């Protein structure tokens, strides 16, 4: 037998004076209110990782409280508002927040006032048999307060625990079955954010409509990131912004014939124009995030050059951020992106192409099967003598294959698609690293060539460090390159081939026969 667990309640409403009973069975009830109501702030990452995990993080009077819907409520002292989890003081709350991406900053998402009451059930000896900690939260923006009650389990007093549980449950309407309802009350205007939505499409839907849905959704995701980019909370805002726009661009180029030629060209250009000013800032973010790793790659004697380089990168990033801010605020940008949104909203504004009316399912099978065949064709021919460009091509085709499978994932058997994506990912990660090492070498080379200052000694230090870095990156690239053949062989297994054929080729042949 072990020590019993505490019980938690999330109730709609507040502890009213008229619900303050003086007795609980034979026990006397005592109410203690430690202080007047205080301010509280609710925190979460922009992608709402805390909410999605069934938790809520509250800061009040320099104490962080983590409410876990199915677990113990944790607290720790917090002299300041939480930012990145890695920068928080060590404590139970920090440890329980380990699942949050290290790249994400915690942001204030709601505020209000909090009042505390402790309800104690005492026997004739004034011994506590049950204790309930009741916190009532009143959000500034919402009319309905939320009451969080934790009944502390005291070993050996099961009867009082049960009585107290019943008593507390009657104080308000139970909220549930999950933590989402708590957020609904405390942050009524909390917009959900999901950078990787699974779009609902049916087999017979028009390819044209599917393309439009994907574009509209991802433009919306990109736009949700605009305020975060401008506030520069963390680097993920720009990253998600770019990923969404990249997905939009790949739909436009991959869904051939869904829009007519002119429309396709126009859309390609418009979205490429939106994305191009973001490239340098993202490159700098990647360098700055990898700082520790770069220092570890080089011996200490070459660190000074890196420090100079990072100083330059930090300054350049500041400039890029300023540019991004004024760009996103500019009327030209607003006109451009709102124009695109409008184009997708107005019926008849977009010009369909010859494939517009095809059914999503058959169209998806065809696109995926073709792309898969292409990947196999290129990869099977790769050996030690193949030029790097071909390996780069393979990477791009793999990425396109992945996007297509992601876009249409709902049309196919979930587990099969999942397992295929998983085996593709290993190859993609390998190719991704190969590409990163190669791109970084080129960009570092450019940096050294273009970097001249009045201080020749410093320039020399930079050249030495960056030169050494390029040598290491080139070795890493070779190592990744050597893995490509074996990783493709693993991907190209009999069972994977069979699954691709069954899912995409088989259906197409049947459809063709039918046609």
Partner 1 sequence: MRIIACYSNKGGVGKTAASVNIAYELAQSGLRTLLCDLDPQGASGFYFRVKPSKKLKNETFFKDVKRFTQAIRGSDFDYLDVLPANMTFRDFDIFLSRMKNSRSRLKKALKSVNNDYDVVLLDCPPNISALSESVFKAADHIMVPVIPSTLSERTFEQLLDFFKQHKLPSKKLVPFFSMVQRQKKMHTETMERMRSNYKKSFLNESIPFSTDVEKMGVHRAPVMSYARSRPAAKAYQVLCEELRETIKS
Q: Quote the Cα angle for 140-184-72, to 5°.
A: 95
Cβ of residue 297: shortest distance to partner 1, in angstroms? 40
229-257: burial string, b at 16+ Cβ within 10 Å, e else: bbeebbbbbbbbbbbbbbbbbbbbebbeb
Q: Is 153 in the site for partner 1 (CB under 8 A)?
A: yes
Other CB atoms within 10 A of residue 5 CB: 11
Closer CB to partner 1, 17 or 125, in the complex: 125
The answer to the question of residue 2 lying near partner 1 (CB under 8 A) is: yes
Phi/psi for 46 (5° steps) reads: -60, -35
Q: Is 126 in the site for partner 1 (CB under 8 A)?
A: yes
If one asks whether residue 155 binds partner 1 (CB under 8 A), the answer comes out as yes
By the rule CB under 8 A, 74 interacts with partner 1: no
Closest CA to 442 of 461, 466, 478: 466
Shortest Cβ 2–partner 1 spacing (Å): 6
Contact in structure between 33 and 192 (CB atoms under 8 Å): no
Is residue 26 a contact point for partner 1 (CB under 8 A)?
no
- DSSP one-letter code for 205: S
CB distance 465 to 302 below 8 Å:
yes
Among 32, 70, 81, 156, binds partner 1 (CB under 8 A): 156
Report the nearest approach of partner 1 to the CB of residue 303 (Å): 40
Stretch binding partner 1 (CB under 8 A), from 120-128, 358-366, 414-422, 467-475: 120-128
Q: Is residue 157 a contact residue for partner 1 (CB under 8 A)?
A: yes
Comparison of 157 and 407: residue with beta carbon closer to partner 1:
157
Least Å distance, CB 72 to partner 1, is: 12
3 binds partner 1 (CB under 8 A): yes
Non-local (6+) Cβ contacts of 275 within 8 A are 242, 245, 246, 249
Cβ-count burial of 424 within 10 angstroms (0-12 exposed, 13-18 middle, 19+ buried)?
buried
Q: Which of 154, 211, 398, 503 binds partner 1 (CB under 8 A)?
A: 154
Question: In terms of CB distance, is 6 or 53 closer to partner 1?
Answer: 6
Residue closer to partner 1, measured from CB, 154 or 375: 154
CB of 156 to partner 1, least distance (A): 4
What 3-state DSSP class applies to 172?
coil
Q: Is 90 in the site for partner 1 (CB under 8 A)?
A: no
By three-state DSSP, how is residue 31 classified? Answer: strand
- C-beta of 25 vs 156, nearer to partner 1: 156
Cβ 157 to partner 1, closest distance in Å? Answer: 6
Minimum separation from the CB atom of position 58 to partner 1 (A): 20
Counting other chains too, the contacts that 317-326 makes at CB distance below 8 Å and 24 or more residues apart are: 317/281, 317/284, 317/285, 317/288, 320/280, 320/281, 320/284, 321/232, 321/281, 323/277, 323/281, 324/229, 324/230, 324/238, 324/277, 324/278, 324/281, 325/229, 325/230
| Residues touching partner 1, count (CB under 8 A) | 13
127 binds partner 1 (CB under 8 A): yes
Structure tokens at 49: 């990782």
Binding piece for partner 1, criterion CB under 8 A, among 101-109, 149-157, 168-176, 258-266: 149-157
Q: For the chain, first and last CA: distance in Å?
A: 68
Nearer to partner 1, 153 or 472 (CB): 153
As measured in angstroms, the least distance from the Cβ of 136 to partner 1 is 23
Among 17, 35, 90, 125, binds partner 1 (CB under 8 A): 125
Per CB under 8 A, which region of 126-134, 137-145, 289-297, 389-397 contacts partner 1?
Answer: 126-134
Residue number with CB closer to partner 1 (2 or 18): 2
Q: How many C-beta atoms surround the C-beta of residue 343 within 10 A?
A: 17
Largest Cα separation within the chain, whole Å, is: 89
Closest to 10 measured CA to CA, from 214, 185, 139, 128: 185
- Smallest distance from partner 1 to CB 65, Å: 16
- Taking the complex as a whole, the smallest distance from the CB of residue 120 to partner 1 amounts, in Å, to 9
Residues that bind partner 1 (CB under 8 A): 1-3, 123, 125-128, 153-157
């Amino acid at each position: 037998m072990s020590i019993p667990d505490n019980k938690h309640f999330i109730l709609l409403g507040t502890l009213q004076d008229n619900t303050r009973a003086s007795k609980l069975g034979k026990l006397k009830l005592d109410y203690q209110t430690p202080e007047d109501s205080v301010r509280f702030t609710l925190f979460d990452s922009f992608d709402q990782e805390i909410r999605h995990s069934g938790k809520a993080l509250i800061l009040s009077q320099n104490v962080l409280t983590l409410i876990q819907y199915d677990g113990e409520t944790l607290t720790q002292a917090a002299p300041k508002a939480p930012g990145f989890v890695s920068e928080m003081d060590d404590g139970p709350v920090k440890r329980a927040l380990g699942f949050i991406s290290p790249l994400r900053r915690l942001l204030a998402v709601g505020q209000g006032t909090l009042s505390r009451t402790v309800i104690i059930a005492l026997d004739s000896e004034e011994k506590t048999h049950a204790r309930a900690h009741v916190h009532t939260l009143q959000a500034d923006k919402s009319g309905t307060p939320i009451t969080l009650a934790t009944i502390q389990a005291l070993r050996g007093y099961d009867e009082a625990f049960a009585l107290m549980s019943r008593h507390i449950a009657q104080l308000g309407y139970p909220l549930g079955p999950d933590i989402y309802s708590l957020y609904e009350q405390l942050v009524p205007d909390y917009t959900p954010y999901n950078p990787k939505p699974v779009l609902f499409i049916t087999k017979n839907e028009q390819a044209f409509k599917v393309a439009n849905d994907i574009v509209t959704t991802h433009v919306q995701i990109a736009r949700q990131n605009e305020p975060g980019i401008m506030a520069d909370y963390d680097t993920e805002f720009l990253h998600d912004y770019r990923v969404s726009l990249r997905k939009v661009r790949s739909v436009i180029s991959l869904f051939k014939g869904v829009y007519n030629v002119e429309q396709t060209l126009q859309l390609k250009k418009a979205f490429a124009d939106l994305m191009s000013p973001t490239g340098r800032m993202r490159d700098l973010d990647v360098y700055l995030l990898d700082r520790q790793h770069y220092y570890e790659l080089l011996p200490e004697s070459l660190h000074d050059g890196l420090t100079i380089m990072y100083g330059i990168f930090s300054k350049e990033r500041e400039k890029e951020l300023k540019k991004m801010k004024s760009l996103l605020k500019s009327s030209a940008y607003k006109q451009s992106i709102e124009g695109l949104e409008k184009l997708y909203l107005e019926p008849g504004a977009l010009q369909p192409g010859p494939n517009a009316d095809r059914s999503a399912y058959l169209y998806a099978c065809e696109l995926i099967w073709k792309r898969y065949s292409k990947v196999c064709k290129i990869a099977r021919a790769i050996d030690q003598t193949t030029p790097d460009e071909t390996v780069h091509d393979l990477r791009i085709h793999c990425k396109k294959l992945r996007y297509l499978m992601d876009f249409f994932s709902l049309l196919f058997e979930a587990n099969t698609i999942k397992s295929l994506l998983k085996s593709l990912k290993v190859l993609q990660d390998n190719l991704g690293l190969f590409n990163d090492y190669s791109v970084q070498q080129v960009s570092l080379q450019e940096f050294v060539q273009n970097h001249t200052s009045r201080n020749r000694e410093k320039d020399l230090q930079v050249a030495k460090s960056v030169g050494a870095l390029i040598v290491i990156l080139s070795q890493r690239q070779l190592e990744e390159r050597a893995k490509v053949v074996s990783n493709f062989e693993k991907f190209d297994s009999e069972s994977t081939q069979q699954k691709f054929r069954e899912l995409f080729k088989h259906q197409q042949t049947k459809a063709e026969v039918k046609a």
